[in-house]
Amino acid sequence: MSKLSISQIGAPVLRQTAQDVEFPLSAAIQQLVIDLIYTAELANGVGIAAPQVAASLNLFILASRPSPRYPQAPTMEPTAIINPKIIDRSSENIGGWEGCLSVPDQRAVVYRARWVDVEYCNMQGELQHKRFSDFVARIFQHEYDHLRGVLFIDHVRPNDLVSEEKYQQICFDPLPSQEHSVS
Ligand code: NI
């Protein structure tokens, strides 16, 4: 396992449209998945997308678990999401705090669909159909954005961004129509 260098805002790869992954997975892509999971874990991330490590591929990791950055996150097995598509989404949007390993020291409340119906391939290339809800749906939508060159800050007004320090002070205050869904 290797800790990968995380691209920071300003890196052109973060603004590119990623390319589909081909099956069967090459040894290099299999290793990339292992390294992405390891890198997200070390960085206290609950997800990470391949473009964040300068690999412009339609691939991300969902890895919700409680951490100092997201103390209330539910626990799940880290999952590789390959060539995903969002098929449907709730009409209801809910606000929740987000940050990004590629956007240091910035947090904001982002409004996203409460649930998403998705398709993606697993490591074996088998098509999966799933519905993700609440916090995991938020991670999914955030990482899915990365595959299209979109960052969470694109969804908010500049004045709505707060520093990590400020976030730590206010993140447990109730917000309208959200249930502490921080991402
Ligand atoms: Ni991100």
pLDDT tens-digit series, residues 51-94: 999 999 999 999 999 877 777 889 999 999 999 999 999 999 99
Whether the CB-CB separation of 75 and 97 falls below 8 Å is answered with: no
**Considering the chain, what is the average pLDDT of its residues?**
92
Compare 149 and 45 and report the one with higher pLDDT: 149
Q: Give catalytic status of residue 143 as yes or no.
A: yes
What separation in Å is there between the alpha carbon of 46 and the centre of ligand 1? 9
CA angle 150, 56, 67 (to 5 degrees): 65
Report pLDDT digits (tens) over 128-173: 999 999 999 999 999 999 999 999 999 999 999 999 889 888 876 5
Q: Is 158 exposed, middle or buried (0-12, 13-18, 19+ CB in 10 A)?
A: exposed
Compare 33 and 178 and report the one with higher pLDDT: 33
Active-site choice (41, 143, 165, 179): 143
What separation in Å is there between the alpha carbon of 32 and the centre of ligand 1? 17
The contacts of residue 48 (CB under 8 Å, 6+ apart) are 6, 36, 39, 40, 60, 61, 63, 101, 143
The contacts of residue 4 (CB under 8 Å, 6+ apart) are 35, 36, 39, 53
Going by DSSP bridges, is the β-strand pair 47-49/59-62 parallel, antiparallel, or unpaired?
antiparallel
What separation in Å is there between the alpha carbon of 103 and the centre of ligand 1? 7
What separation in Å is there between the alpha carbon of 93 and the centre of ligand 1? 19
Sheet holding 79-89: strands in order across?
A: 47-49, 59-62, 79-89, 115-121, 127-133
Domain ranges for the chain: 12-181
Superfamily of domain 12-181: Peptide deformylase (3.90.45.10)
Whether the CB-CB separation of 38 and 134 falls below 8 Å is answered with: no
Q: What is the pLDDT of residue 177?
A: 42
What separation in Å is there between the alpha carbon of 36 and the centre of ligand 1? 13
Q: What is the pLDDT of residue 1?
A: 85
